[in-house]
Amino acid sequence: MELIDAIQKRRSVRKYLPEPVSDEIIISLIKTANLAPSAGNLQARDFIVVKDAETKKKLASAALNQEFVAKAPVVIVICTNEQKIKRYGSRGINLYTYQDTAASAMLIMLTALEHGLGTCWVGAFDEKSVRKILNIPDFAKPVIMIPIGYPAETPEMPKRHEINSYLHMERW
């Protein structure tokens, strides 16, 4: 699949078939995610792969009861890692690590599509709950959950704003 085709085809999938996702594919997603750009090539992000049904139920509850999180065969939680980025000070902790996790998330989503999988970016969750559920250390922060599975739906493309509402040439 060509990159532009993948970008245009990607949708937020919230209904998944009950088929498992192989460990081989999961490892491929994580390896690809780690190819994303990162500040100073510090790769200040960590990935938690969750397949356990009870843990996914807890994550769904922490994600403001978004039940589709529990129904996905796999959930990948991407965390910042302040230990790895500390040389950049507060800007590294408060900005660069978020940029790094976002770039990794997008690569996971596009690579998943290449494997015939659907994904959804979930940012709405209670951080303290997720931290406790997954035993995340204080120097790391969960930022993005990505439920992953074979899609049981093909969502329509949501309406997008016209380009003149967000494109600025030379100046705002």
For 56-90, what is each residue's pLDDT tens digit? 999 999 999 999 999 999 999 999 999 999 999 99
CA dist., res. 165 & res. 88, Å (int): 34
CA dist., res. 23 & res. 19, Å (int): 13
Q: What is the pLDDT of residue 155?
A: 80
* Domain ranges for the chain: 11-152
User: What is the CATH topology of the domain spanning 11-152?
Assistant: NADH Oxidase (3.40.109)
Which helix (DSSP H) or strand (DSSP E) does residue 53 occupy?
Answer: helix 53-62
Half-sphere exposure of 76 (CA within 13 A, CB side): 30
- pTM for the complete prediction? 0.94
Q: Which residues of the chain have pLDDT under 50?
A: none
Q: What is the pLDDT of residue 158?
A: 85
